Structure 1
Amino acid sequence: MPIWKRNLFVCWFGMFVTGIGMSQIAPILPLYIKQLGVQDSGSITQFTGIAFGITFIVSAIFSPIWGIAADKFGRKPMLLRASLGMAIVIGSMGFAHNVYELIGLRLLQGIITGYSTACTTLIATQTDKEHSGWALGTLSTANISGSLLGPTLGGFIAEHFGLQNSFFVTGGLMLVAFITTLLFVKETFTRQHKHAPRMKEVWSSIPQKGLTITMFITGLVLTIAMYSIEPILTVYVTQLSGNARHAALIAGITFSASGLANILAAPRLGKLSDRIGAHKIIFVSLIVAGIIFIPQAFVSNPWELAGLRFLLGLAAAGLSPSVNTLLKKITPDTLTGRVFGFNQAATYLGAFTGSVFGGQVAGWFGFRAVFFMTSGLLLLNALWVYQKVYRTLNKSSQAA
C-alpha cells in the first residue's frame, strides 16, 4: 500500500475522532453546567454560549499558527501534539469542579487544536496530482462523520453512564488516535527555511493571491450556510410536525441527512474534480446549494425538509474537497501548512458566525428569512467565483 494511502486511513480516523470531540459536548453542555452548580436557567444559557463558542473562536486564531509550525517542523509532530493534547484536555473536562474550569479547558481545547489542518496538509503534499481530489474528498468526510456522530454518542453515554464519562470516552479515543498516528503515519520532512519567513514574505511567495483569498471566503461562506440552520432546526421541525415530543429525534434525523449525503458524495465529486477541474465543481455546487435552500422555506412537513437537506448535502459535498484541491494546486508545498491553516481558521469562524447569523435572522425576520438570506449568500459567492476563479482558470487552460 502506498504511504499516502496508509496515512490517509490514519488521518481519516484521527479527524473522525476530532470531529466527535468538537461536537459531542453540544447536547450535554447545559446539563453538565447545571451539574457543576449553575442553577439559574438564564445563567446556564449564558455560560453554555460562552463555553460552546469560545473553542471555535480560539481555534480560528490558532489554526494559522499551527499551520506555520507544520511547515517549519513537519506535519506528523503537529498531529501528535494535537491528538495527545486533546486527549488530555477533553478527558480533564470530566474532572472540572466548576463552570469556570470547564470554560478554561474549552479555551485550551481551541488553542491546541490543529489536527485537521496538519492532516489536510500532510495528505495534500504527499498525494500525486491524479488522486489529490479523491484523497481530500475522502478526508473531508471524516470530520463530517464525527460531527454527526458526536452529539448522538455524547448524549447516549451521558444518559446511560453519566455526563462525565462522555469526556472520558472521547479523551480515550483521542489517545488511540495519538497512538495510531505515532506508529503508522510516515513522513519524510525536509525543512526548507532555516529561518521562518515573515508574513509579508509568505504572502509575496503565493503566486495567485486573488484565487487564494476567494477560496478562503468560499470556505467561510459554505460553513456559514451549513451552520445557519442549527439554532433554529429543532424549533422549525417542531413547528412543522406539530409534535414537540419527538422534535429532537426528527431534528437529529433532518440535520444528519445533509451529513450523510456529504459522506456519500464527497469522494466521488473529489474524483470528478480530478478529471474536469476543481473550479467547475465549486461553481456548480455553489449554484445548486443556493437554489436548494429556497424550497426549504416552504416545506409542509419535516420529511420534506430532510429530503431537501439530503440534496443540499450532495451539492455541498463538492465544495470543501474542491476548495482544498484547488488550494493545493496553486500553493507551493513549502507554504501549504500556512495556507491550509488560514483556510481552517475561516472554517471555524464560519461555524461561529453561521450559528449567530441563523439565530439572529430568525429572531428578527422569521425562519424563512434564514433560508432566503443563506441562499442569496451562496449565489453571490457563486457569481464571485465565476468572475475571479472560473473564468481565470478557463483562460489559463485555453492558453496552455
Structure 2
Amino acid sequence: MIDEPAGMIGAPLAGARRLGAVSFIFVTILLDMFALGLIAPILPKLVERFVDNDTASAARIFGLFGTAWAAMQFLFSPILGGLSDRFGRRPVVLLSNFGLGLDYVLMALAPSLTWLFVGRVISGITSASVSTAFAYIADMTPPEKRAAVFGKVGVAFGAGFILGPAVGGLLGGIDPRLPFWAAAGLSFTNTLYGLLILPESLPRDRRTSFRWKNANPLGALHLLRSNGVLAGLSVVNFIAQLAHVVLPSTFVLYATYRYGWDATTVGLTLAMVGVCSMAVQGAAIGPIVGRFGERRALLLGLGCGAIGFLIFGGAPTGPLFWLGIPVMALWGVAGAATQALMTQLVAPDQQGQLQGATTSVQSVSQLVGPFLFTLTFAYFIGAQAPLKLPGAPFLLASVLLVLALAIATRTLAGMKSGR
C-alpha cells in the first residue's frame, strides 16, 4: 500500500469545484456511451448498404469492425494512460473528446466502406480515454469513497447504452447518417463544456515521465505484476470481463432461439437489465461497500453474478430468465470494488498507467469472448452436440465467475487487515 492516499492530490479542489469536476467526468462518460449507443443500431445497416444489402457479408465485415475497435482499445489505452500521467488528465480527456467528435463527422461523410472502417479504428483510439476518466476519479476521490463513485459512474454507462440505441434508431429512421452527426455534436459540446469546467486533477509535482516501455500493452502489464495482490485482482477482472462478453455476443440469439422472443421483447428485456444495473450502480454500491467493505463486496458481487448466469442458462421459460436479472445486477458491486481496491495499490502518478493497463486487459476479453461464447452456443444447439443445451454459454460464464471468486478469495486473503 502507498503511504499517501491518491485521493489527497485532489484535496485543493474541494467543495463545489470538486463536485463539478467529478460531475463533468460523469457527463463525459455518459455522453461517450450515449454517442456510441446512437450509432449502434445504425452502423450494421450502413455497412450492409455498402455491400449491396448482402447480410452475410455485412455480418462478417461488421465483426471485423468490432475486432479492430477492441484492438485499438488494447493498443492505445495504456498510451493515453501514460500520457495523462505525464501531461495531466485534463488535456488527454479534452483532446480525446474533440478527436471523437471529428471521427463521427468522418463516419457521417464516409463515401465508402474503407473510410467507414478508418472511422471505426479512430473511434477505438479516442474512446480509450475512458481509462483516463477513471484515473481522474482516483485522483479526486479519497480511497474509502472510490467504490461508491465508480458505481455512480457505472450509471453513466448503463444510461448511455439504454438511451443511445433508442434515440439512434429514431434518428436513423429519418436519415442513416443523422445519428453520426448527433454523436459528433455531443462530443464537441462535451469538449467545450470541459474547457470551461474541468480543472486538472494531477499537479505537476505528482506527474511522471512518459516511457514507451510502460505505455505499450505488454509493458503496461509490468505494473499489474508489480504487486501480488494487484496481479491477482487483474486476473479476477479479466475473467469477469470475459464472462460479461456472453451477454452482447449471444443474448439476442439465445433469447430468440430458446424463448421465441421478438425484437420488442428482447429490447424490453435489455432495458430491464439496464434499469436494474443502474439502480445497483447508483444507489446500492455505496451502502453495500460502506457496510461490508470493498473485499466482501467484491466477493458478494462475483457470487451474485455466478448465480445470475446460472439462472439465465438454466431458465426454461422467459419469466424465469427475468427473475435472474436483479440477481445479476448485483454483480456490478464487484466491478466498483475491484476498481477501488486496485487504485489503492499504486502511487498517485501511476493511476493513468493503471487504468490504461486495466482497459487493455479488458480489451483482450472483448477480442476472445465473442468467439468463445458464440462457438459454444453454436455447438450445443447443433446436431453434433451430445445434448441440446442452448444455455451453455451462460453456464460457462457462471463457471468463469466461480473461478474468479476462488482467485479473489485467495488474493484478498494475502492483503493486510482492513477494508
The normalised TM-score by structure 1 is 0.90
2:122 counterpart residue number: 108
Structure 1 unmatched ranges of 5 or more = none
SS of match in other structure, 1:322 = helix
2:18 counterpart residue number: 4
Q: 1:224 aligns with which of 242, 250, 259?
A: 242
Q: 1:194 to 1:340 in 2, by over 3 A?
A: closer
Q: Does 1:294 align with 2:314?
A: no
2:256 counterpart residue number: 238
Q: Deviations over 1:22-47 (max 9, x none)?
A: 34333222210133344333221111
2:12 counterpart residue number: none
Q: Does 1:177 align with 2:190?
A: yes
CA distance in 1, matches of 2:73, 2:116: 16
Q: Deviations over 1:314-368 (max 9, x none)?
A: x211022111111111111010100011112222332343333221110112422
Structure 2 unmatched ranges of 5 or more = 1-14, 382-389
Contact 2:300 2:334 in 1 (8 A): no
Q: 1:329 to 1:98 in 2, by over 3 A?
A: same
Cα displacement (A) at 1:377: 0.4
1:187 counterpart residue number: 200
CA distance in 1, matches of 2:377, 2:342: 34
1:397 counterpart residue number: 417
CA distance in 1, matches of 2:254, 2:16: 47
* Residue correspondence of structure 1 range 136-285 to structure 2 within 5 A: 136-159=150-173, 161-188=174-201, 189-192=203-206, 195-197=209-211, 198-199=213-214, 209-242=227-260, 247-267=262-282, 268-285=284-301
Q: 1:191 to 1:56 in 2, by over 3 A?
A: farther
Cα displacement (A) at 1:287: 1.6
Report the RMSD for the aligned CA atoms in angstroms: 2.4
Contact 1:296 1:308 in 2 (8 A): yes
Cα displacement (A) at 1:174: 1.0
Q: 1:381 to 1:130 in 2, by over 3 A?
A: closer
User: Number of residues paired by the alignment?
Assistant: 391
Q: Does 1:310 align with 2:333?
A: no
Q: 1:300 to 1:206 in 2, by over 3 A?
A: closer
Q: 1:239 to 1:77 in 2, by over 3 A?
A: same
Superposition misfits of 4+ residues, deviation over 4 angstroms: 200-208
Cα displacement (A) at 1:103: 0.6
Contact 2:236 2:407 in 1 (8 A): no
Residue 276 of structure 1 aligns to which amino acid in structure 2? F
> Sequence identity, in percent?
18
Cα displacement (A) at 1:248: 1.5
1:347 counterpart residue number: 362
Q: 1:137 to 1:178 in 2, by over 3 A?
A: same
CA distance in 2, matches of 1:225, 1:207: 22
Cα displacement (A) at 1:204: 7.7
Stretch deviating more after TM superposition (178-187 or 212-221): 212-221
Stretch deviating more after TM superposition (114-123 or 80-89): 114-123
Cα displacement (A) at 1:208: 5.9
Cα displacement (A) at 1:57: 1.8
Cα displacement (A) at 1:205: 7.5
2:8 counterpart residue number: none
Residue 417 of structure 2 aligns to which amino acid in structure 1? S
2:348 counterpart residue number: 333
Q: 2:379 aligns with which of 350, 364, 386?
A: 364
Contact 2:87 2:207 in 1 (8 A): no
Residue 366 of structure 2 aligns to which amino acid in structure 1? A
Q: 1:114 to 1:4 in 2, by over 3 A?
A: farther
Q: Deviations over 1:196-244 (max 9, x none)?
A: 355399888879622222222222222222221323322322234435x
SS of match in other structure, 1:186 = coil
CA distance in 2, matches of 1:116, 1:340: 9
Contact 1:56 1:349 in 2 (8 A): yes
